[in-house]
Structure 1
Amino acid sequence: MPTPRKIAVTTEVENGKFVGNRNLIIDAIGVYEGKKVTVTIERHYNKRSNKQNRYYWGVIVEHWKNILREEWGDIYLESDVHEFLKSNLSFEEVIDDSTGEVAINPITHETIRKPKSTTKNTTFGQEEYHEACRQLAWEMFQYQIPLPNEDLEQPIDVEFK
């Protein structure tokens, strides 16, 4: 069996010792016997929940699809709406390695942005992202996207004529 590239074990530290999953940690160390390894210890955060994911795709993205169709006349797929939201709300600015400064598009003279994945958001980070999505809808179009478990009077479907 090939040696895995990475093994992740969640545990707790008390009095400077691992107190949970100790046997898994010992087994994981044994897998790399005779190999050079890198040991990384990082704080465990809960990743975004399935419930948050359903709310994002089923409510936020669907409302944004309708907003963009109503306001701009554009029909977007769910994946396109997701990229639109990420490029406006979840991005990092590209740094020019030669100057160490934020890279500027020479044509538009705007900063160059790289969308960040939302898949590694913590539950708290995902809530912040949801709030930013709702806030952007309000600021751009005075459109209120409902909070989870909230029913607003705005229609979500628009008929084509």
Structure 2
Amino acid sequence: MKTALLAGLALLLSSAAALAQTGPAAATLPNSFDRTIAVPAAPAAPPIVQTMADERSEDALRDFIAGAAAGDIDTSNLSDDLITAITAQADQVTPLIQSFGAVQAVTFVGKRDGADLFSVLFANAETEWMIGFNDDGKIGALLFRPAPTE
């Protein structure tokens, strides 16, 4: 969003400079800073649905975290696309997960977009994880982020 705003401002400034160099046209350029510009709101995240977790989710999530913490991620239960993504990011993700420390608690929060959402409390971090399975029964979606602060 900030990048788009900066790009928009850069375009506006370059247009103003071009008009200023052409003479009288510069006087017709409206003062954009005095106008209110409507900025579209970011789409809201889909709601979290409170249902039962997929029976495979928690064990698969714990196994992935344990493998990452040990520096040995088992890719046999991951989709090909996810293997590619994890392999590309392993040098950043593995040390990060290792820095979280031991898993203290894994709590199912709900479902979002067909994936299960978990809160995972580590010794040194609080995180949120999403895990989802593809039609072949392999993990096709796996995301994590710091737990939101309220």
- Flag whether TM exceeds 0.5 (same fold): no
TM-score normalised by the chain length of structure 1: 0.21
Say which structure is richer in strand: 2
Structure with more contact order per residue of length (Cα contacts < 8 Å, sep ≥ 6): 1
Structure whose CA Rg is larger:
2
TM-score normalised by the chain length of structure 2: 0.23
